[in-house]
Structure 1
Amino acid sequence: MATILYGIPNCDTVKKARRWLDDHGVAYSFHDFRKDGLEPAKLQGWIDALGWEKLLNKSGTTFRKLPDDKKAGLDAASAKALMLDQPAMIRRPVVESAAGLGVGFAADDWQQRFA
């Protein structure tokens, strides 16, 4: 399976992840949520594998700017709708590789993932 990195190019964490992959000679393709979109079925697969709680970035400015009534009572369906409507609410980066599916970047974890 080819490695695919999903995210937003101006995100600092995505920049770190891309730099790490480049520095370690890991071939990958980059999928920009905003420019390239995100299929609902793909997001559902991530939710099924990781859980919506792990994917929804509640600490980001996009989520924090939501009205309180949109934040209250979140469940899988409402979180999915928010993430599809505003992909910046997805924790980044999401990476699909032969080692499986992951979200976020930590150099130590990635060293093991791509060893």
Structure 2
Amino acid sequence: MTTLPTLYGIPNCDTVRKARAWLAERGVEVRFHDFKKAGVQPAQLERWIAAAGWQKLLKRQGTTWRKLDAAAQATVIDAASAAALLRAHPSAIKRPVVEWSEAADDVTVGFAPEDWARRLG
């Protein structure tokens, strides 16, 4: 039995809704993890940063980032400082994050239908 992919996000996020609908239309079953309610474990956040890079994981276009003062924004200079900010403000994580398998590097950030279609074969 294979493990289901896990889609991490926030249910009311438009991009997460589009991603979930896209997967459902293709009959792809996924587990959904609401990281605003259930949080993100530090080890998991480190895995995502290692797989995708902290720059890609940090959603600088979002409201959460824009509401931070300039001093807080300026502290984000590397993976460790980004991880600290994302633990404190999970809404600043770009969504959705999908763990496609148990492999540490099998993680995508953001909704990319073309890439997802290739993954699903």
User: Normalising TM by the smaller chain, what interval?
Assistant: over 0.9
Q: Percent identity?
A: 55
Provide the aligned length of Structure 1 versus Structure 2: 115
5+ residue gaps, structure 2, are: none
- Structure 1: how far apart are the matches of 2:80 and 2:107? 21
Runs of 4+ in 1 over 6 A off after TM superposition: none
What is the Cα deviation at residue 106 of structure 1?
2.0
2:100 to 97, 101, 104: 97
2:18 is aligned with what amino acid?
K
Instruction: Kindly indicate whether residue 112 of structure 2 is the aligned counterpart of residue 110 of structure 1.
Output: no
Q: Tell me which residue corresponds to 1:30.
A: 32
5+ residue gaps, structure 1, are: none
* Deviations 1:59-91 (CA, angstroms, capped at 9, x unpaired): 101001100011114222221111111111000
SS at match of 1:30: strand
Q: Tell me which residue corresponds to 2:46.
A: 44
Provide TM-score, normalisation by structure 1. 0.94
- Structure 2: how far apart are the matches of 1:61 and 1:76? 21
- Structure 1: how far apart are the matches of 2:97 and 2:59? 12
Q: Tell me which residue corresponds to 2:73.
A: 71
1:80 to 75, 78, 83: 83
How large is the RMSD of aligned CA atoms in angstroms? 1.3
- Structure 1: how far apart are the matches of 2:93 and 2:11? 13
What is the Cα deviation at residue 111 of structure 1?
1.1
1:104 is aligned with what amino acid?
G
- Structure 1: how far apart are the matches of 2:47 and 2:12? 25
* Deviations 1:24-50 (CA, angstroms, capped at 9, x unpaired): 000110000011111001101111111
